[in-house]
Amino acid sequence: MSTTKGKNILIVDDDEDLNNLYETFLKFDGYKVDAFTDPLDALSYFRKDVYDLVLLDLKMPKMNGVELS
């Protein structure tokens, strides 16, 4: 029985390649993933859904991961 079924993950990282890598691996493992490179976009989207896990980059332009959390 899969424990990933129905689990939602939000990824926010300004490094597009790293963001895509995380997203690809997590989706392959059965997670539902929303990935953003802009923390402001992620913030507005975060208010719409509930996530089981949020992966944040600490150093990003506009807003860092600590401010976003």
Domain extent, residue 22, equals: 1-30
Amino acid at 56: L
Rounded Cα gap, residues 18 and 34, in angstroms: 14
Is 23 within a domain? yes
Report pLDDT for 28: 95
pLDDT at 37 over 70: yes
Whether 65 is in a domain gets the answer no
Would 6 be classed as within a structural domain?
yes
Structurally, the chain folds into a number of domains equal to 1
pLDDT of res. 14: 85
Give 24's contacts (C-beta < 8 A, 6+ positions apart): none
Cβ contact 8:34 at 8 Å:
yes
The answer to whether residue 47 is domain-embedded is: no
Spatial distance between the Cα atoms of 9 and 27, rounded to a whole number of angstroms? 10
- Whole-model pTM? 0.79
Beta bridge partners of 32: 8
* Residue 69 clears pLDDT 60, i.e. is over it: no
